[in-house]
Amino acid sequence: QVQLVESGGGLVQAGGSLRLSCAASGSFSSINTMGWYRQVPGKQRELVAGITEGGSTNYADSVKDRVTISRDYANNTVYLQMDSLKPEDTAVYFCYSQAVILSRTYRYWGQGTQVTVSS
């Protein structure tokens, strides 16, 4: 099992910044990809950004010039630095990880953290 604990959400004005953190703990051999999705009511969860074990990153087109994902491999923590925030970035942000346990890969989710951007 893997537990993901998120922090860093909140209320910010348009143009502001937030940094989300997500720490993974539990019993696993390794963690492959970590990243973030977001979801607004009535819509599907969408990928914001991901980072692989090797450090390769991918971003949604809607955020790629404003968001940076990074990872602390020693502490199994992933960060999402969000700058120049817009009201349309308002959503619940979910951290995810793909962990290897007994040679099988499983995806885990955090509980979600609310990000609200006011205009």
Using the predicted structure, report yes or no on whether residue 112 has a pLDDT greater than 90.
yes
Is residue 7 within 8 Å of residue 113, measured between CB atoms?
yes
Is residue 21 within 8 Å of residue 6, measured between CB atoms?
yes
Q: What are 68's strand-pairing partners?
A: 81
Instruction: Write out pLDDT tens, residues 32-73.
Output: 999 999 999 999 999 999 999 999 999 999 999 999 999 999
pLDDT band for position 28 (cuts 50, 70, 90): confident
How many Å apart are CA 83 and CA 97, to the nearest integer? 23
- Residue reference for tokens 């942000």: 93
| Helix, strand, coil percent content, the chain, rounded in steps of 5 | 5, 60, 35
For the chain, what is the mean pLDDT? 96
Predicted local confidence at residue 54, as pLDDT: 94
